Amino acid sequence: MPEVQGIMSRVFQSGVMNFGKVFSGFAEQEFLPSSNAGMLSLVGDLGRPSNATILSKYGKGAGEEVIHLLESLAEEAKSEDDIEFAIPLNVKLVFAKTDEEGNSITLSKAEAGMEGLANAIVIEKPVDRNKTHPYRTAGLVQEINRRMADRFDAEHIGRHLNPLGSSTRRTKVNGFDVRAVATKLGWRNSNNGHHYLHENPETRYYSEVAVDDFIEKVFSDVEYLERARKSYRGSDNAST
């Protein structure tokens, strides 16, 4: 049944690698040369067809048995979550120094066998900064203020934005506030999930996560923002 090849190819591949592991332990020599990764060459659609397609092809009785088989195998692979049972979907069966675009990737050495693949490091392909970090500082300030106004009333915002005992009644953050919190949290020290520095020309960008985490931090403690401001005023980069 070609419909089961998606899940069964994952089980079969684990079987090949398990056999190689046991063979090496028993025979005290490699099952395959280290230059051979021992990957199955399976050609076909690895996706699962819809239930309607299966029922149409096999009829109700046989079709329901195929559907049950597919569902039970997929559920078992998920519950086991073990590379020795079925190759997980998030493991790419490739061994290469670079991908098609020249980005460095290293999953595992072929000679590392099952243990190497199980402990492989997944290096994510770089993504577009415009999608991951869409806000410049001014845009970040604007978005933070918009979301604060949506979530809290002016009195609650004022308590967290103004120092205790102060007569000011600010209900919006500004660029200094954003830089102070970003510095206190270490976002600006590197390119990360919150912050990205474009070097030429030097421009800082921030992510959606930065918006949410800024608000969470500021509203977790009425004195948090003022402490961040004081710390930032005494730093060397308070003007950037």
Of the candidate ranges 108-117, 120-129, 155-164, the one whose mean pLDDT is the lowest = 108-117
Contact 156, 203 (CB under 8 A): no
Q: Where are the domains of the chain?
A: 2-92, 129-233
* More reliable by pLDDT, 83 or 217: 217
Mean pLDDT of 11-17: 84
Q: Which of 99, 117, 239 shows the shortest CA–CA distance to 180?
A: 239
Tell me the C-alpha distance between 208 and 139, whole Å: 11
pLDDT at 110: 43
pTM exceeds 0.75, yes or no: no
* More reliable by pLDDT, 130 or 193: 193
Contact 157, 129 (CB under 8 A): no
